[in-house]
Amino acid sequence: MPIIEILIVVFLVLLNAVLAGAELSIVSARPARLRPKADRGHKGAQAALRLGAEPGRFLSTVQIGITLIGILAGAFSGASLGSWLSTSLADAGLPRNVADPLGYTVAVAGITYLSLVVGELIPKRLALHNPEGLACILAPAMLTLSKIAAPAVWLLDISTRFVLRLLGDHGKPGEGVTDEEIRAIITEAETAGVIDPAERRMISGVMRLADRPVTAIMTPRPDVEWVDITASAEEVRETLLQTPHSRLPACDESPEETLGVIQAKRLLDAYLRGETPDPREFVQSVPFLVETVGALEAMRILRSAEVPMGIVVDEYGDMVGVVTGYDLLAAITGSIAETAHHEERHVFQRADGSYLISGETPIDELRDVLDTEFPVDRT
């Protein structure tokens, strides 16, 4: 029995397994998971990031190795093991014209089976199960191999790029990570128990916020309570006592003439002291936001404002709504029980399975509830 030849074939199959596992693990490994390890000085993670940054050269290195292994394994299986097995079958009594093809066929089939299972399927399954871990283990060796095979790798890489250019591929990078992919990762993390459902809703809320205009999260004008600074002291005090809000827009007879906001507590304190203050003296300036402003831009403006409240106006300067920090937080985390307006449910499923939907429901929330995509021109 050719023990040496068998050991050589086994070694080649195992080497093929290393290359196959390295190929899939390094390509599949997420840089976001490798980078923290690399920043801590992990050599394997650093090597994996270097190889992943030049996939063309890395894949050429792997392909050179796998091709050479396939040639050597085929040579040993055909010339050595096939010959030995054919001779053994002939010595066992089989005719030579039967023993020769049968011996070579069995040898090639056996090594092919071993190469597929041990050299390809098992390492690739392991790479899919833990790509970052396997990449950190195998990347240093692959980096060394790529340096050794640099001339051949360079030739193959140049040849590949030349052919791709002839086919119309000019080496432009593909599409980056999309919103759908991020949402799929978040859903997968929730299913695996890595994050709670509440955390998943908050992350999704932050992502939706970037796509929303400020009008989608504001309190619309018909629902806005306001103070008429030209009204009598008794009317102003009654308005402040009846509202659950801490701040109200201050208007000059109508919302078309909004001057700012009044903090209810400060003005009520003056009334309780028996004073008759002029409401104009309690008006605080707030930012006025055009209705086309995005929700994230509105958040940035409110963060730097003296009062975390903004008046949303149309192109003519008329108030169309009010946005506060609570509105922004509610858009991320869900409803906040500050007012009855926030407590209302936008979508209610009835007993017969139909839905009762408020006209104020943002289209992105409706899409999530109904799991339906709407045409862009309707959003």
Give the model's confidence band at 378: pLDDT under 50 very low, under 70 low, under 90 confident, else very high: very low
Q: How confident is the model at residue 79 (pLDDT cuts 50, 70, 90)?
A: low
Under the banding of pLDDT at 50, 70 and 90, the label for residue 338 is very low
Q: What is the pLDDT of residue 18?
A: 92
Rounded average pLDDT over 325-354: 68
> Mean pLDDT, to the nearest integer, of 9-13?
87
**What is the C-alpha separation between 39 and 122, in angstroms, rounded?**
31
What does the angle CA 222 – CA 226 – CA 230 come to, to the nearest 5 degrees? 130
Q: Confirm or reject CATH 3.10.310.10 for domain 209-344, answering yes or no.
A: no
d(CA 136, CA 49): 9
Q: Spell 341-359 as b/e; 16+ CB within 10 A means b.
A: beeeeeeeeeeeeeeebee
Q: Is the pLDDT of residue 278 over 80?
A: yes
User: Is the CA virtual torsion 18, 20, 23, 28 positive or negative?
Assistant: negative
Confidence check: pLDDT of 118 > 50: yes
Tell me what pLDDT residue 270 has. 87
Contact by Cβ (8 Å): 231, 253: no
Of the ranges 13-27, 31-45, 161-175, 189-203, which one carries the lowest mean pLDDT score? 161-175
Q: Which residue has the higher pLDDT, 276 or 368?
A: 276
Phi, psi of 309 (to 5 degrees): -155, 140
The whole-chain average pLDDT of the chain stands at 82
Percent of the chain with pLDDT over 90: 9
The structure tokens listed for 194 are: 């890595």
Based on its alpha-carbon atoms, the radius of gyration of the chain, rounded to whole angstroms, reads: 35
pLDDT > 60? residue 345: no
Cα–Cα dist 134/28, whole Å: 10
Q: Does the pLDDT value for residue 1 go beyond 70?
A: no
| Average pLDDT of the residues in 127-146 | 90
174 pLDDT above the threshold of 60: no
Domain positions in the chain are 3-166, 209-344
Q: Is the pLDDT of residue 188 over 70?
A: yes
Q: Does residue 58 have a pLDDT over 80?
A: yes
Predicted confidence (pLDDT) at residue 142 exceeds the cutoff of 70: yes
In angstroms, what CA-CA distances link 149 with 74, 323, 370? 22, 62, 55
What's the pLDDT tens digit per position in 95-117? 878 887 887 788 878 888 888 89
How would residue 288 be classed by pLDDT, with cut points 50, 70 and 90?
very high
246-273 mean pLDDT: 87
Confidence (pLDDT) at 77: 62
- CA separation (Å) from 234 to 21, 283, 316? 80, 18, 32
Under the banding of pLDDT at 50, 70 and 90, the label for residue 339 is very low
Confidence of residue 290 (pLDDT cuts 50, 70, 90): very high
Mean pLDDT of 359-366: 71
Please determine, for residue 343, whether its predicted confidence score (pLDDT) is greater than 50: no
Taking residues 18-28, what's their average pLDDT? 90
Least confident of 21-30, 81-90, 172-181: 172-181
The residues, any chain, with a CB within 8 Å of residue 197's CB and separated by 6 or more, are: 190
**Please, is 276 exposed, middle or buried when counting C-beta atoms within 10 Å of its C-beta (0-12, 13-18, 19+)?**
exposed
The percent of residues above 70 in pLDDT, for the chain, comes to 89
Q: What is the distance between the alpha carbons of residues 15 and 10, in angstroms, rounded to a whole number?
A: 9
| pLDDT > 80? residue 76 | no
